[in-house]
Amino acid sequence: MKSIFVKDDNVSKDEIIEFLKNNLIPWENKIIIIDNGIKNQTKAIWDLVGTDDKKGLVFFLIIINFKNKILFDIIENIDWTINNFEIISKQYSDKIRTNITPRFILISHLFSPIFQRIVSGIKNIEIELISYKGLRNLEQKGILFEKVNHNPQTNQRNLSDLHHQSSKPVYTFDDLTKEEIDEFYK
């Protein structure tokens, strides 16, 4: 029996979260979801928390309404997570290795080229971009996930490399042109 799927733009954040919680992670089946997410005193920081085959923590953020300016919120979330990693990792100490740098997975229906370029310039932090498309046919609904190749700059997973040092900034960006910076702020 043949099935024809059409694009479905009505995929909610809750549907994506439920799909990821109830299935193997489609682009990397070695990740297991272990918690619903992390919040600080003012907002939700991450939507889901998982662990990978190296027993490192993996934090998921699902972005329904993408805008380039969300990058600052994401960097703030990553910074907060790294600065509070010792406390966070204690919650999951029986499931993870606490000396491994966490990974961050951002899921959105699209990522602009400038956003991808800026994320690819962030050093020492593994940020993966995953795009999704809602699909449906007469009988069911589905979600197609695709890894966005944005040339990540790091494969390092040692947490000690991320601790703030006065001579080395945690976040550095490759050479961005004035035009790229202006485009980002549009």
Which pLDDT score is estimated for 5? 81
Burial of 4 (0-12, 13-18, 19+ CB in 10 A): exposed
44 contact partners, CB below 8 Å, separation of at least 6: 37, 38
Could you give the residue ranges of the DSSP H alpha helices within 8-55?
Answer: 13-22
Q: Residue 11 has what DSSP assignment?
A: -
Residue type, 170: V
- What's the pTM value of the predicted model, to 2 decimals? 0.77
Which pLDDT score is estimated for 136? 86
Taking only the tens of pLDDT, the chain with its 186 residues reads 577 888 888 899 999 999 898 877 777 778 889 998 888 777 888 999 999 989 999 999 999 988 878 888 999 999 999 999 999 999 998 999 888 889 999 999 999 898 898 888 888 889 999 999 999 888 888 888 999 976 544 444 555 555 544 334 444 455 566 676 666 666
Q: Euclidean distance between the first and final Cα of the chain, in Å?
A: 48
Please state the domain extents for the chain.
6-185
Q: Residue 161 has what DSSP assignment?
A: G
Name beta bridge partners: 57: 51
Which pLDDT score is estimated for 154? 46
CA distance 157 to 159: 6
Which pLDDT score is estimated for 167? 39
Which pLDDT score is estimated for 164? 45
Which pLDDT score is estimated for 25? 79
Which pLDDT score is estimated for 1? 57
